[in-house]
């Protein structure tokens, strides 16, 4: 899946992520759970786009759904476990006792999302451990055009879950249709109050953007961080006249976290959460002081709280100068990563 946008969530268990993705959620890997919606036709048979995809891929006639949570008279949440060649897949099902073309209200949608996360809480309490949750655009044909209300409700519940769950590190919100991607991405940025900063052409800014793109392109697409981090960074940097600051900062922070983890592993330093890894690197003199500060800088820029706190002095919103500082730090750590992993002589 291609990652379009990222929201970093601080928790007592470390950084967690809400990811806006483009792709097929059935292709999500690992020990995560996927969520699908089902509907009933006039004959009472269960159907749905994802249901049909599962039937075709798994070569099964019907899904055996075990009811688990009663949302209301029209909706219940159940689950099924699909047996795979390498790993079973846990599927949470939102079951509508109606057809696609029936609209539902904002209140009904909120009740539905509450039900999904209440079910996840109950399942975790009973012993299930999901490292990730992949959700489709729920009710795409039911909550027509109310994207802001939908993403706000989903973010509230997803953020709460990522903060309290012991095991879920990532929630994927999967967009399947190409024409929906920009709508959801723009809505997410709007709901979060993120800053689109216009760029006035300068030789320095143009040069560093091109240099960063060249560095990213020097890494193979088989790199473990390509889909998750490098490709979204590349997409953000390719925008010529404007940059979405917080998106760039969020992926920059994630990259710094990954690099920090690599440094600890390569040098035999104890690994822990991001903050502790940074402290261990500094205390064990793994990096020189300035490089350590670049790591701290990327971590701070990627913290969403710093962009919303009212201050007595200085801008409350990021500026073009802030972007330039962020890009300079990002360049330093990208070069460090190239040296560590690919022995690139860039520093």
Beta-bridge partner residues of 95: 38, 76
Domains of the chain: residue spans and CATH = 2-192 (3.40.220.10), 196-342 (1.20.120)
Q: Give the residue ranges of DSSP H helices in the chain.
A: 49-58, 106-125, 147-164, 178-192, 203-218, 231-237, 245-267, 274-283, 289-301, 320-342
Cβ proximity of 321 and 246 under 8 Å:
no
pLDDT band at 85 (very low <50, low <70, confident <90, very high): low
Write the DSSP symbol of residue 219. Answer: S
Q: Is the pLDDT assigned to residue 316 strictly greater than 80?
A: no
Classify residue 345 as exposed, middle or buried by CB count within 10 Å of its CB (0-12, 13-18, 19+).
exposed
pLDDT in tens, 152-187: 999 999 999 999 999 999 999 999 888 888 888 888
Query: How large a percentage of the chain has pLDDT more than 90?
Result: 38
Tell me the average pLDDT across 258-271.
88
Count other C-beta atoms under 10 Å from residue 317's C-beta.
11
**DSSP string computed for 20-70:** EEES-GGG--SS-EEEEEEEE-TTS-EE-HHHHHHHHHHT-S----EEEEE
CA distance 124 to 170: 15
Query: How large a percentage of the chain has pLDDT more than 70?
Result: 88
pLDDT in tens, 198-256: 777 678 888 999 999 999 999 999 998 998 899 999 988 887 677 888 889 999 999 99
Give, in degrees to the nearest 5, the angle at Cα 221 between 219 and 223.
70
Please choose, from the candidates 250, 256, 229, 248, the residue with its C-alpha nearest in 3D space to the C-alpha of residue 304.
250
Please choose, from the candidates 138, 188, 183, the residue with its C-alpha nearest in 3D space to the C-alpha of residue 159.
188
Highest mean pLDDT among 90-104, 153-167, 221-235, 279-293: 153-167
- The predicted pLDDT at position 307 comes to 43
Residue with the bigger pLDDT between 89 and 70: it is: 70
Count other C-beta atoms under 10 Å from residue 343's C-beta.
7
List of residues 6+ apart from 129 with CB closer than 8 A: 31, 166, 167
- The predicted pLDDT at position 311 comes to 47
Count other C-beta atoms under 10 Å from residue 220's C-beta.
9
Q: Which of 191-205, 287-301, 333-347 has the lowest mean pLDDT?
A: 191-205
């Amino acid at each position: 899946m291609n990652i379009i946008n990222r929201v970093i969530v601080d928790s007592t268990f470390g950084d967690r992520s809400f990811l806006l993705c483009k792709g097929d959620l059935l292709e999500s890997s690992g020990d995560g759970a996927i969520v699908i919606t089902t509907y009933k036709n006039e004959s009472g048979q269960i159907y749905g786009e994802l249901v049909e995809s599962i039937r075709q891929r798994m070569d099964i006639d019907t899904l055996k759904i075990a009811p688990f949570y009663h949302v209301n008279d029209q909706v219940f949440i159940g689950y099924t476990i699909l047996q795979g060649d390498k790993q079973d897949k846990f599927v949470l099902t939102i079951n509508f006792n109606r057809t696609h073309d029936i609209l539902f209200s904002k209140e009904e949608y909120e009740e539905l999302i509450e039900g999904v996360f209440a079910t996840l809480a109950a399942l975790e309490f009973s012993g299930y451990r999901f490292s990730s949750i992949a959700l489709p655009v729920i009710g795409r044909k039911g909550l027509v055009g109310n994207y802001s209300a939908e993403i706000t409700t989903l973010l509230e519940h997803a953020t709460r879950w990522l903060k309290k769950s012991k095991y879920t590190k990532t929630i994927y919100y999967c967009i399947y249709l190409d024409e929906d991607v920009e709508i959801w991405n723009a809505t997410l940025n709007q709901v979060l109050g993120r800053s689109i900063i216009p760029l006035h052409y300068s030789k320095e800014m143009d040069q560093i953007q091109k240099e960063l793109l060249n560095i990213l392109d020097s890494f193979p697409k088989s790199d473990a961080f390509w889909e998750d981090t490098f490709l979204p960074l590349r997409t953000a940097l390719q925008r010529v006249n404007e940059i979405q600051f917080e998106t760039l900062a969020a992926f920059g922070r994630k990259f710094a976290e990954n690099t920090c983890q690599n440094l600890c592993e390569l040098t035999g330093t104890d690994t822990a959460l991001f903050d502790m890894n940074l402290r261990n690197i500094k205390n064990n003199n793994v990096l020189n002081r300035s490089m350590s500060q670049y790591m701290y800088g990327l971590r701070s820029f990627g913290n969403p709280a710093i962009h919303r706190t009212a201050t007595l002095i200085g801008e409350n919103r990021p500026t073009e100068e802030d972007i330039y500082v962020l890009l300079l730090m990002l360049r330093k750590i990208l070069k460090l990563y190239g040296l560590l992993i690919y022995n690139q002589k860039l520093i």
